Amino acid sequence: MLRNNSYSESEPKQSDNQPSKEQLIIQKKLEKVEEFVSTSHNVPLTPYKFINEEEFFSTMDEVWDNLDAAFDEAYSILEEKQRILQQAHAERHSLLQEAHQEAERIKNQTRIVQQARQEAAQIQTQTQQECEADRRETWEEIQKLRQKTESECEQLRRDAEQYAASVLMDLEHDLKEMLKVTRNGRSTLNPNEGKETPQKPKPKRKAS
């Protein structure tokens, strides 16, 4: 079987990660194929080589046998990566939901605090207004009570003055009557003493 010499110039690619057992086997088999080709005799005046077909295909069969295991491992790695990505996506989604719920909770708490502050301010304003209204009402009641008390005191003063005037007038009348009786008694005892025409008593004034 003939093969182009340019194959010997190519270099196998190596993974950045540590190769698995199957990859190492495949790599060694490919190196064996490369060595097998490079050590084969050249066809004169051509870029081709003579190779042992049976040995070449035997080596390639070994490569293919190990490729199946390598593919299975690659599929397993891809599935594991997919599982990790799905798990990371699920965790990210869960974290986003928790963050959203926490933000909503904080927002609700902030709204509750603001509402409580507004209600407290309204209650304070209402209380101040009620206190001011009670103060004005109390002041008005005090003024009314003071006016009523002053009016009653003035009426009592007038009634007291009228009563005192009436008592004094009665006392004056009684004194005049007593004076008259005294004079009459003296006239009876001393007929010649002070003959004076008795004066009529003044009429009693009625209390106004």
Q: How confident is the model at residue 199 (pLDDT cuts 50, 70, 90)?
A: low
CA 63, CA 130: separation in Å to the nearest integer?
Answer: 98
Q: Has residue 178 got a pLDDT over 70?
A: yes
The label of the residue with tokens 């009634």 reads 159
**pLDDT of 37-69, one tens digit each?**
777 777 777 777 777 777 777 777 777 777 777
**pLDDT of 3-30, one tens digit each?**
444 434 334 444 445 666 666 777 777 7
CA 138, CA 146: separation in Å to the nearest integer?
Answer: 12
Average pLDDT in the chain: 78
Taking a C-beta distance cutoff of 8 angstroms, is the pair 45, 4 a contact? Answer: no
Question: Residue 26's CB: how many other CB atoms inside 10 A?
Answer: 21
The whole-number pLDDT of residue 4 equals: 44
Higher pLDDT, 128 or 40: 128
CA 135, CA 114: separation in Å to the nearest integer?
Answer: 31
Q: Has residue 79 got a pLDDT over 70?
A: yes
State the SS3 of the chain: CCCEHHHHHCCCCCCCCCCCHHHHHHHHHHHHHHHHHHCCEECCCCCEEECCHHHHHHHHHHHHHHHHHHHHHHHHHHHHHHHHHHHHHHHHHHHHHHHHHHHHHHHHHHHHHHHHHHHHHHHHHHHHHHHHHHHHHHHHHHHHHHHHHHHHHHHHHHHHHHHHHHHHHHHHHHHHHHHHHHHHHHHHHCCCCCCCCCCCCCCCCCCC
Query: Torsion-angle region of residue 45: left (phi > 0), alpha (psi -120 to 50) or beta?
Result: left
Q: Which amino acid is residue 151, in one-letter code?
A: S
The label of the residue with tokens 């060694």 reads 28
